Amino acid sequence: MAQLWGGRFTEATDRSAYEFNASSSFDKKMYREDIAGSIAHAKMLGKCGIISPDESEKIINGLVKIREDLESDALHITDEYEDIHSFVESVLTSRIGDAGKKLHTGRSRNDQVALDMKLYTRNQIKLTDKSLKDLQKTLFSIIKANTGTYMPGFTHLQKAQPVTLSHHMAAYFEMFIRDRERLKSIFERMNSCPLGSGALAGTTYPLDREYTAKLLLFDRGPTRNSMDSVSDRDYLIEFLSALSIIMMHLSRFCEEIIIWNSNEYRFVEIDDRYSTGSSIMPQKKNPDIAELVRGKTGRVYGSLISLLTTMKGIPLAYDKDMQEDKELSFDAMKTVNDCLREFCGMLSTMSFNSRAMEESAKQGFTNATDAADYLVKKGVPFRDAHSISGRLVLKAIEKGVSLDGLSLSDYKEESDVFEQDIYEAISLQTCVEKRITFGAPSRESMEKIISYYEDYLKKEEEFDKKQL
């Protein structure tokens, strides 16, 4: 059992207690971040004269070699080490001698793990943002190609008013814009460096915290309070919250795809590569990817609630409870990125049945509001027009036709205001294309939104290049 402590103990840790306490089985994911933080710390120690330049160089070269060996599988992290920190320091010391024992000067595992988790979370935020951007690109191609694909819009899962597939997909594009804005906000807010905070009260060594913060690309410099630095997991809670919202958006999207994929709707056809069959029913083609994404949403929610519950009763500063932040966070981060990847693949290969969508809109009385608006424009008060339109819907249901299947005499029985032009007024195309307010589904309105999305994606590309 390789540990970084033990001088004041007279007995070895019980084996089962050691295993219960150890975190190397999961925090080994952070080996790159741990080594990066240690390299920065060693550079700072050498710069400040806390260790000699020769010792600093030996440590840095040793750490670089450990990273290379881990990347090439020449070296493996085993369970004899308590955590990733003890692994790196033990291997380093075994390779370069006493200089390796000086790496931890002016540092605690508390600020070390706080740094590692921040570095890891920063990288995961960038990865999630890239996955969202890829999904937006897929969505944008659908939006751009379907400004004339009419379909019913729904409220209460009942057909409400006609829209277009382009307009419907743009609603999700907007959700993912907000998701990406949340990620950027979290990234900016968390981007201060805890290294140098020590266990909780800083250190007596003359550390240059500004220097290590700069080396590790923390734009906001070092954290301002050493106690808060080692016990802060707000940024992780915020990220898990953002991931939960992303999953909520994906789950809503999946729910619609599952419904649209059903025999009753037939709005979409999911590609065979993203569908599965039944072991007993040969005819089945199941939307399993969409269902799994929907199901995994609860898993990510669970990670958020678990961390909130863990943190709610922890006094300042660091307590071992906080080790529980890792497994659930790692799982949530991986789950969301896996879901984004598979969902994007499913969406990009999915085909849309425009004929079924348009027919569904025609058969659902989605033009009833437009029949009422027709009367209003001819001077009928809206409340009266609403009642007349409702009676027309009832009449159409009794006759088994759509509103445009009623005769002109049927219309005139309800109001003499109706003329032959009512059929043009309630045509699907008119219903959609006359809705020209900003944010509405008409082609005219959507072209403005498409232009905005195009500029948005270009600006995001430029931002990413700057970040790199």
Q: What is the C-alpha radius of gyration for the chain, rounded to an integer number of angstroms?
A: 30
Distance set, CA 116 to CA 33, 102, 121 (Å): 5, 19, 8
Helix ranges (DSSP H) in 312-442: 325-349, 354-363, 368-376, 382-399, 408-414, 422-425, 428-433
> Max Cα separation, the chain?
100
Contact 127, 187 (CB under 8 A): no
Cα 333 to Cα 298: distance, rounded to the nearest angstrom: 13
CA-to-CA separations, 362 to 283, 298, 366, in angstroms, rounded: 30, 37, 7
Pairing mode, strands 268-269 and 158-164: unpaired
Angle CA 157–161–162, to nearest 5: 110
Cα–Cα distance for residue pair 301/306, rounded to 1 Å:
9
What positions carry a catalytic annotation? 156, 278
Paired tokens of 167 = 């307009």
Neighbouring CB atoms inside 10 A of 209's CB total: 20
Burial class (CB in 10 A: 0-12, 13-18, 19+), 263: exposed
Instruction: Give the other-Cβ count within 10 Å of 38's Cβ.
Output: 27
Please give the C-alpha separations between residue 77 and each of 2, 37, 166, 229, in angstroms, as whole numbers: 12, 18, 50, 28
SS3 for 2? strand
Q: Are 268 and 260 in contact (CB under 8 A)?
A: yes
